[in-house]
Amino acid sequence: MVFLTPIPTFYQIYKKKSSEGFQSIPYVVALFSAILWIYYAFLKSNTAFLITINSVGCFIETFYILFFFYYASKKAKVQTMKLPCLLIICGVGIVCVTQFLMTPVSQIMVAE
């Protein structure tokens, strides 16, 4: 249900055909969080529920970001593109450190 809380905001954006000064940061961070939860779930066992919930969350947050991007001003679009790129770099760094520099036991300990 947490992934669905921005629906009134996006309805307002749709009605006014403008992002009205709203920022994309919460949606990009929520997407990043869902991706990290999926990565954690792949490190653990018996986590189908966790993977399912966060996969749906990734889909919803991606939709929000694309919807925001469509109605955003040029300045907001540039910021919306910079933030995911930064988080992708951070995410790749996290995955590389945990996958290549740690043993499987310590990977789970770091993830917890």
Q: In which residue are the tokens 């740690």 written?
A: 102
Q: How many residues does the chain have?
A: 112
pLDDT of residue 87: 82
- Supply angle C-alpha 102, 36, 26, rounded to 5: 145
pLDDT tens column, 83-109: 888 888 887 887 777 777 777 666 666
pTM: 0.79
Which amino acid, 48?
Answer: A
Name residue 30's amino acid.
A
